[in-house]
Structures are given as C-alpha cells and as structure tokens.
Structure 1
Amino acid sequence: MEPLSNLKQLQHLYLDNNHIVDVAPLASLKNLRTLSLSKNPIEDISPLANLKNLDSLYLDYTNISDITALKGLVNLEDLVLNFTAVTDLSPLKDLPLERLFIFGLKTENLELLPQEVQERAEVTLKDEASFGDYTVRVWSGSWVYGYFEILKNGERVYLQEGGVFHIGWDNKYHPDEGAPVLRIGEDITGRGIPNLVIVEWTGGAHCCMFIYLFELGEEARLLTDLFLGHNDTFYFTDMTKDPGLELVAYDTSWAYWRASFASSPAPQMVLRLDDDNKWVFCDEAMRKPEPDGLELLAILEAVSSKIEEMNNPHHVIEPFWDELLELIYSGHARLAWRVLDLAWPSTVPGKDEFVQDFIRMLLNNPFLEDLERLNDGQLLPSL
C-alpha cells in the first residue's frame, strides 16, 4: 500500500478484499471522497481521521470495533459498517450522515443519530425457515436492501447481502392449480439431497430477479445462481422423465429492444440443471413440431401485417419478431428466417438493418449456446 501514499490528488479508491491490515499509507490522501475497504482484516482505522473530505466510506466485513477516528469526518454522508465488531455508534452523532448500514450488529447509541438515519440503518427479521440442522433467516431494511443467512446448529455458515430475499417459492404461476410450494428441504435436483431456493429482487422498475439454489447436505453449498431479469412469473415443474424439476421462465433479454417494455416479447424457456450445476435449455421440453401449412400461413400473415403497420422500426407497438422468437425458441430458427424473408413487404424499407440488428441481439443473448444447440447449429441465417 505504501506507493498509494504519493497519490495526493486521488478522490476515489476501492480496495475491497485485498488482505489489507494496515491503512496508515492512506493517511496522506486528503482529497479522497470515496474509500472502500470492505472485506479486509483491518482492526485499526485511526489513520483515516485525517481524511476530512470523505463523503462515502465502506468498512463492512472488516475487523474494526472502534470508530472513534470517524468523529471528525465532517463531510461523511454514507457509511457502511455491516458485519463488523462495532457496538458504540456515539462517535457518529455530529456527522452529516444520510445513510448508515449496520447489518448484523448489536449496537448502542443509535438513538443519537437523526430519526431517518436510524430507520434506514436497522433491519428486521422478515422470514425464517428450518430443515434438519439448518435454519435460514431473511433480514430486511427499510430500503430495498437486506441479507439472508444460513445457520447449521445455530452457527452461521453462509451469508449474502443484496436486495429483498425470499425463502423458497410459492409456484403460484404454475398452470396446474395446487402446484406444490417449494419449501426448504425439497429435493429439486433429484439427487437425493435437500435443497434450498432463495429468490432475490434487487428493486427498481422492471428489474431484477435472481434465483440461488443450495444443497443442504453435510455442508450448505451454493450450487448455482441464475439472473432472470424482470421475470417473477417463473415456476418449477416436472416436465421430463429425468430426475429433478425443470424451471419454466421467460427470456427478458429482449426487453426494450425496438419496443417498450410492455410490448417486448419474452420467449418462454424451460431450463434444467446440468451436471456442472448450470441452468441450460431442456431441449426435450422446448422443441415443438414444425407448424403445419395453415399455421405457417397464419404466422406469415401476422408478421407481414405487423411490419406494414409499424410507423417507426425502432419503436414498434406490436413487435413482429414475437412470432420469429417463438419459432427460434422451439427449435425452428431456419423457418423463422424464411418467414421473415417472405413476410417483409417490398414496399417497407429497413429489412437489412433489422436483420443485422436481430442477429446482434441473438449473438449477445445470455443463452446463445443453448439456442445454437436447440436449433442444431443453424441459429443464424446464411447471408
């Protein structure tokens, strides 16, 4: 860290998870406004007392217990102390704090801080569930921010911060009435080991959902996580003869492409967990028969009509690629390209530009490898 002491004009510095013990070399960086020291085994932060320009300081997951050095940081607005050994918050009472995070702490003197800071700082136990030796707890703050922890025989073995977490999944979007709720301990993978599903919502309009899948065997083990974008209508079901459940979800990576969010297609996906604990397309469940003559004619007419009616090809009210994606996500990409070629009216410009842009979207799709396999390596047209 010593070379950093010469960077006197530095304003923002992020040193997370770097095995830092001694922060003395940072004492000369008096122009710093943002400093992040998260996940370092730091115990003494007294050298930070000189950093009077700091407005954001991240000390979570460090070994600090004494924050007296912070009482003179007259510009400090954001402070993160999650999962430290801090108990006494009185050194913060005269600071202009707007946001304080103290997850996992048992503190004293929080009442000395402004009421709005107190409300944002505290978390409450939102949910708890147990199975065998394991207990899962979800904690939430007043913002869209919280954490969950897994305990085995009362000792924490896993911890994760983020947005709003849920234990299990109610499967309410399953098409069959009375579909089973996925509670802690269900065997989702079919491997004979109890599982745990945690669902996270990160907050914000149209975003974002994550699924975390754990095994609760001799040890609690995160098998995999999956980013689903704005996709809270997913459900688990058994669609094949293979062990375990499949996950039915929707590909929201097409959101906002040449259309509003509400108008954007979201093709259905059926995912399975492979041997490497990765969610991949379940080709068996996604492949569908090729449309017959009448069905194909209806698709051609629908696509052609939508193309003729669009006013702005970059902001379409009724996306004509919805039908194309249904074909592609059922294993008929070659047919989708033929439909587009035949359906595009010769009087409507922009076909070549659309094709190139559509190809770009496919190539950037998070499930590109699966789409190529589903379509037998013929996902893209021969140009």
Structure 2
Amino acid sequence: MNFELTEERRMLQDTLRRFLSDRYDTATRNRILESDEGFSPEIWEGLAELGVIGALFAEDQGGFGGAGFDISVVFEELGRAGVVEPMLDTAILGGGLLAALGDEAQRALVEEVIGGGLHLALAHYEPGSRYDLSRVRATATPEGGEIVLNGAKAVVVNAEAAGQLIVSARESGAADDPGGISLFLVPAGANGLSLRGYPMISGGRAAEVTLDEVRLPASARLGTAGEGFEPLRTAIARANVALAAETLGAMETATELTREYLLTRQQFGRPIGTFQALQHRFADMLIELEQARSAVINAAGNLEKSPDFRDMQISSARNLIGRVGRLIAEESIQMHGGIAMTQEYELAHFAKRITMADHRFGDTDWHLERFLELSAA
C-alpha cells in the first residue's frame, strides 16, 4: 500500500486547507451553530466551487475521485477546521447511494449534488435499531401501482435541508433480515412525511422523521426491490472512513491547541509545558495520534476490498479512533483547565466533535465486537 498522496490529492489538501483557514474560525462557527440552518450556505457553495464535493465521486459518476484516500484527504481537512457543513450526509451517504443505485433520471441529481445545489439525507436508522444495519421496521407496500411507506426514522442528519431523502423500508422478510430492504427517493414536502428537527451537540442539525402513508411512484425505488442492504453496507463503510478521517483531523487540532497552550500558559515564572509530568502526557497524545493516523490510512486503503475484509479493517480503525479520541479529548481538556469548556474557546467544539463521533455508525465497543466476529469468520 502506497502511503504517499498523489500530486492531485496534495493539491486538493492544500487548497482546502487554505480555503478553510481563511473562512472558518471560532466566531464564524458559533454563528453557524446558532443559525436556523445549522450550516453556512456560503461555505457550502465555496466548497462546491472548489471541487471538494466532486472529489468524493468517481469519474463515471461525474466527479474526479471517490477512492478511499480521496475521502480521507477531504474529511481530515474538514475535521481539522471543525467544519459542521453536512458533507458526509449529502455526498458520502446520500450522493453515494444515488450514484450507485439510481437510474438515468435519478443519477442526474448527482450533478446537482456535486454543484452544491442539492442536499440529501439518509433516513435509515430507527428508534431501537441501535447500530444494526439490517434492523428495519418501516414498511413499503405496493398499492395500486404506487409504493406506500410507513414507519419512523431517528436522528436523520441534514433532513431539514435535504431536497430529497433516501429512505429505507422493508418490502419482505423479518425485522432483522438483511434481505427485503429497499431504498426509496422521497422528495422533501411529500404528503405524509413529517420532520421534527433539533440541533446536535457536535454541530449541525438532525430530525426525527415520520412516514405516514407516504405514497410514491414505483420509479422512486433506488435499485432492485429488496436488495438495498449491501449498497447500504458499502455506503456506511465509506461513511466510517470519512468519519474516522474527520475525527483524526479534529484530534490533530486539539493536540496543536494543547501544545500552544502548554507553551503559553505560565506558572511559577515559566511555561507549564516545561513541567515533566505534562511533557510525558503530551508525548503520549502524540504517540496515540500517530497510531490513529495509521489506522485511518489502513481503512482508506482497504475500502475497495471484499466486504467482510473491508469491514473488519474499518471496525479496527473505528475502535482505535474511538479509544484514542477519548484520550486526546480528555487530556486536552485537563491540560487546558476550565478554559477548555467554554464555547468561545476553540477546543470546546473539537472535544465535542471527537466525543460524539464515537456514537455514530457504531461506538468503540460495537466495532470491537464486529471486528472479532469478522476476523473469526
């Protein structure tokens, strides 16, 4: 596996870093977090114009990247800057499924996504489903040439801003069966579709989604009836790589903020960073950070492998990222003292992002169990 970035990826990394350093600071982020949208349309438009969204799609999908290292490069920079714009939900989850499964008319929407004109959201997880991808109780029933959706979806990130929701529903099988799950493209404002939105602690917005006799034409189905599980599994695998890289970027910033503070804050007439106990703790943070970086590289490099092997490597990475993230978040806060908990200080946001990342698509313990299960198969 070649760990060196290609020239194109280095250019993308440098361009994105400069763009965000000029436009994203604590005051700007706090204004975005307090807004009704939960993201900045101006920043989103700028990211689209830079080609950042296009870097997450393959050439035959209208983009110019789409590989594991394209995803990791983009999301590490987004995490480093603490960006709250819904790139993962619109491009990786929604856009990825649309590009992989859509017919000609549906795939035309991918161009709108890449251009920044269309937001998407994946409505899959349900109350009580926890992290189990196959646990779907929402139903899709054929009726008079239409499909009728009923059910409820929980914590649907970016649902309020989405022009289209990709909704999973069961056409056959028991509630936990991988088979029988289908995916449907549901326009925002469809009759019977209701949202209850709220802000998330780590930034952005989500919603509880209710489907009450939502009627769709049969053409709204994405892909083959009852065969949505494997495409979902692939999309979530890509999302896990993105989330791991984003968390790595956030940990890098938290570590750098801590280094600056240790060299600036003085006690007994000298910087506290000269105290041996704090030096040892900071050295541990740096060592763990490099292990996390290796885990992200491994996950990104194996994204195109067979599903079981791919998912085993991704669960290994997510488990490590979760453990290292907790260490870095806690150590950064403790070495900063009370200032680290204030919203006006940069570290507070990054600590929240790092902590909450461990609760999406499977926490540390869940990924450990999954790794053991897949490695024993």
User: TM-score normalized by structure 2?
Assistant: 0.22
Which structure shows the higher strand fraction?
Answer: 1
Q: Which has the higher helix share?
A: 2
TM-score by length of structure 1 reads 0.22
Higher RCO, Cα 8 Å, sep 6+: 2
